[in-house]
Amino acid sequence: MTASPLDYEYPRTIVMRNSGNQVDPSRDYLFESRLQGLLRNRGMQSLSQLVSALRSGPGAALERSVAEAMTINETSFFRDTATFDYLRETLLPALIENRRDTRSLRFWSAASSSGQEAYSIAMMLREHFPLLSGWRIDILGTDLSAEMVSRSAAGRYQRIEINRGLPARFLVKYLVRTGDEWEIHPDIKRLCRFQQRNLCQPAIAPDKFDVVFLRNVMIYFPQETRHQVLLTMHRALPPDGILFLGLSEQPRMDSHWQTMLTPKTVWYKPIR
Ligand SMILES: C[S@@+](CC[C@H](N)C(=O)[O-])C[C@H]1O[C@@H](n2cnc3c(N)ncnc32)[C@H](O)[C@@H]1O
């Protein structure tokens, strides 16, 4: 059954309310494709039926499921390699020097999707910074989607996923083949933990991180939400902390973030 144009306005509002994600009307077709699984699970025949169920609320769980199903989870290991190179070669050595008394480093992969970003950080630390083995390392991955969070925690990837960005020697060293899939080695897994969190909800950062990856998620938010999320990140980072955004994203908050343009990549320094 084809949904009438009227049907999309309401689910668009639901998605915005529950995830802060804007669905442009030109991409309404995504509702049809991305909500198929949810319709099946709920025994529903059509999007119109789902919209009626949403309208007849209260259905907080159903609303959240719709918002989660509409997220774009595109990611890969070592995405934007130059960013990881610059972190490894220049930023981390300085940060490690600054933290030699506390011997503790915290990373936040905010909007971690299926976990490749968090595991890339962990593999990089194990491979290039053996001196950190006695340090307290915490890599937190958070995402709106419960399904992504449980996939991340499982740390199992298909061939198509490990073929994207993962150096062959890392595959051999840090993943273990299990049937048709490859699983992240327990030594790497234990550096990482994953939680479901909505970046648009306040008090999202109860504690401090040294490095925040907030990449390729703000593109889905309206300007006001971007501003709020960037304030949260500002609170989460100390003066020598590091923020990475996606390469097409910018904070546009000159009072809070200094743009650090390097030949390889760009990162952002909190201004105090
Ligand atoms: C395109 S992926 C980016 C993944 C990774 N950061 C990267 O750059 O490869 C965007 C992720 O943001 C998550 N997301 C969208 N809205 C969110 C929100 N309000 N709070 C937390 N995560 C959100 C989605 O579930 C999705 O996994």
Q: What is the pTM of this model?
A: 0.96
φ and ψ of 254, to 5 deg: -65, -20
Please check whether residue 220 is in contact with residue 113, taking contact to mean a CB–CB distance below 8 angstroms. Answer: no
CA 72 / ligand 1 centre spacing (Å): 7
Contact predicate 25/8, CB 8 Å: yes
Interval 91-109 mean pLDDT: 98
Residue-wise pLDDT for 122-170, tens only, equals: 999 999 999 999 999 999 999 999 999 999 999 999 999 999 999 999 9
Please give the pLDDT value at position 221: 97
Quote the pLDDT of residue 57. 78
Name which of 43-57, 117-131, 137-151, 242-256 the model is least confident about.
Answer: 43-57
Instruction: Please tell me the distance between residue 56's alpha carbon and the centre of ligand 1 in angstroms.
Output: 29
Tokens standing for residue 163: 């073929």
Mutate which of 217, 224, 226, 245 to test ligand 1's pocket (most atoms within 8 Å of Cβ)? 217
With a 6 Å cutoff on the Cβ, whether 196 touches ligand 1 is no
Does ligand 1 lie within 6 Å of residue 121's CB atom? Answer: no
Mean pLDDT for the chain? 94
Nearest to 107 by CA among 79, 75, 141: 141
Q: Whose CA is nearest to atom 7 of ligand 1?
A: 75
Residue ranges with strand state E in the chain: 104-110, 136-143, 156-157, 175-178, 181-184, 192-196, 211-214, 242-245, 257-261, 266-270
Of 15, 81, 83, 113, the residue with max ligand 1 atoms within 8 A of its CB, to mutate for a pocket test, comes to: 113
Which pLDDT does position 58 carry in this prediction?
75
Given a cut of 90, whether residue 205 has pLDDT beyond it is: no
Q: How confident is the model at residue 111 (pLDDT cuts 50, 70, 90)?
A: very high
pLDDT of the residue at 253:
96
- The domain covering 81-270 belongs, at the CATH homologous superfamily level, to Vaccinia Virus protein VP39 (3.40.50.150)
pLDDT at 5: 55
Mean pLDDT of 187-216: 90
pLDDT band at 3 (very low <50, low <70, confident <90, very high): very low
How many Å apart are CA 185 and CA 175, to the nearest integer?
5
Please give the angle made by the CA atoms of 18, 235 and 232, to the nearest 5 degrees: 15
Q: Atom of ligand 1 at shortest distance to CA of 20?
A: 19
> Closest Cα to residue 112, out of 67, 149, 83, 165?
149
Whether 208 shows a pLDDT value over 60: the answer reads: yes
Identify the sign of the CA torsion 18, 21, 25, 31: negative
Residues with Cβ within 8 Å of 178's Cβ and at least 6 positions away in sequence, in order, are: 156
Q: What would the 3-class secondary structure string for 134-172 be?
A: HCEEEEEEEECCHHHHHHHHHCEECHHHHCCCCCHHHHH
Least confident of 5-19, 210-224, 253-267: 5-19
**What 3-state class would DSSP assign to 201?**
coil
pLDDT cut 70: percent of the chain above it: 96
Determine if ligand 1 sits within 6 Å of the CB of residue 226: no
Is residue 204 within 8 Å of 198, Cβ to Cβ? yes
Residue spans of the domains in the chain: they are: 6-69, 81-270
Compute, in angstroms, the gap from residue 142 CA to the centroid of ligand 1.
9
